[in-house]
Structure 1
């Protein structure tokens, strides 16, 4: 793609686009799924809290499998492409405040490509 073609890209619809995994696998699947870890309720919480915070140019969507099932529930925020594991509503609140309001990162919840399920959650 030429630089000229890139410069004609349309402006993004949103400042940030959050994809929350709500994928459901069959019961007992070895990798688990975000739906069985309250992914849908956490997504709903994130949507309502984002509205309360007045985040008007942020879109929060459901996503099918993001392929990090064992680390879930997971979400990814674009355009940065930052991934988080957010097992609680408090974690969602921290990501909203720190990442989407303040522009920072929540290091303790960020996922890296090498990450595996933490020992304390491997039960």
Structure 2
């Protein structure tokens, strides 16, 4: 079965209380990074049907490895620090199909 999008990307934007026992992607500028990715994909002409879709997600349960983003259909998990990392994921993986090894996190078991 073919996917509707070539790549469907989910950014965890989960926000926990400040005293929570687990970290929260929202505390790592995840919202701004998701918005940056969306703009970058549009700027490069990658957005639209059959191409790339950037979405928000609630908790993806990889909190200790975050902030996290997952790219489907492969299920490739990344972490990131700033816009430079997001640009590399968009330019390398989403535009050219090349995984960004340095930003990979372990795949869930």
Q: Structure 2 CA distance, aligned partners of 1:49 and 1:70?
A: 27
1:46 corresponding residue in structure 2: 37
Q: Structure 1 unaligned runs (5+)?
A: 1-8, 115-123
1:69 corresponding residue in structure 2: 63
Q: Structure 1 CA distance, aligned partners of 2:23 and 2:76?
A: 22
Structure scoring higher RCO (CA < 8 A, sep ≥ 6) equals: 2
* Superimposed CA distance per residue, residues 10-61 of structure 1 (whole angstroms, 9 cap, x where no aligned partner): x422111000000011113232100011110100000001100110310100
Q: Structure 1 CA distance, aligned partners of 2:88 and 2:107?
A: 22
User: What's the offset of the Cα at 1:113?
Assistant: 3.7
Q: Structure 2 CA distance, aligned partners of 1:113 and 1:17?
A: 17
Larger Rg, first or second structure (1 or 2): 1
1:13 corresponding residue in structure 2: 4
Q: Structure 1 CA distance, aligned partners of 2:107 and 2:40?
A: 28
User: What's the offset of the Cα at 1:62?
Assistant: 0.3
Q: Structure 1 CA distance, aligned partners of 2:36 and 2:62?
A: 21
Does residue 79 of the first structure (1) align with residue 62 of the second (2)? no
The alignment's C-alpha RMSD in Å is 1.3
